Amino acid sequence: EPEVTQTPSHQVTQMGQEVILRCVPISNHLYFYWYRQILGQKVEFLVSFYNNEISEKSEIFDDQFSVERPDGSNFTLKIRSTKLEDSAMYFCASLTGSLGTGELFFGEGSRLTVL
Amino acid sequence: SQKIEQNSEALNIQEGKTATLTCNYTNYSPAYLQWYRQDPGRGPVFLLLIRENEKEKRKERLKVTFDTTLKQSLFHITASQPADSATYLCALPHGSSNTGKLIFGQGTTLQVKP
């Protein structure tokens, strides 16, 4: 069964460092997302990406965050200068071409720990 | 603003019984509602989608109901098994979004005891 893959599974970084989280969505999917989940809290939306541009972003997704799909397969989330409060599980998700009916396929997540 | 509420208390039941989880929402009328399962440290896994014009949906031992008047969905697992132990998340499309964005509830943790 096709799946969304994410790397790294766990990253520890110092506050102020840049982090790049990588995702390979399911190949024929058209919509891509990043969500995050702080320990013990809800899964919360960060950003959606379609047709090589951001289609929507949350208020969490400030100037420190960026996404890109550099080569048509990888989908990356960059945090430019990490803060302690960025510590969370980051989930990549993808969706087929049908917005109104689609289930989100999530990856297993990248756990980010900022010290 | 849109709000989704799930019972934050863990639900403990005996194997073989039916588990019933509740999702309530306020301040909008979603076109559909989804349920996901999440195991500790792992990503959510889609289980079922029910549309606003559907009262009930079934998939194997799972059943979901959707009452748009009460603004509530119930999620049932019949003949529960210890392997059903997980956190179950309710999710709805963001009211003003046309991007597939979902808003998740905080989840209810189910523990099925053998």
Whole-number Å distance between alpha carbons of A44 and A33: 11
* Per-residue pLDDT at B97: 63
In the block, residue with structure tokens 């929507």: A56
- What is the tens place of the pLDDT at every residue in A34-61? 999 999 999 999 999 988 999 999 999 9
B residues 32..71 contacting A (CB < 8 A): 32, 34, 36, 38, 41-46, 49
Query: Residue B44 CB: number of other CB atoms within 10 A?
Result: 28
State the nearest Cα–Cα gap between B39 and chain A, in angstroms.
10
CA distance A78 to A92: 13
pLDDT band at A66 (very low <50, low <70, confident <90, very high): very high
Q: Name the H helices within chain A.
A: none
Interface contact B94, partner A, CB < 8 A:
yes
Q: What is the pLDDT of residue A30?
A: 87
| Residues of chain A found within 8 Å of residue B41, distances taken between Cβ atoms | 89, 109, 111
Quote the CA–CA distance of B37 and B24 in Å, as a whole number. Answer: 17
pLDDT for residue B96 is more than 70 = no
Q: Which amino acid is at B14?
A: Q
Q: How far is A18 from chain B (nearest CA, A)?
A: 23
Residues A82, A84, A86, A87, Cα dihedral to 10°: 120
pLDDT tier, A101 (very low <50, low <70, confident <90, very high otherwise):
low
Q: What are phi and psi of A2, to 5 degrees?
A: -65, 150
pLDDT in tens, A5-26: 999 999 999 999 999 999 999 9
Nearest CA to CA, how far is A80 from chain B (Å)? 24
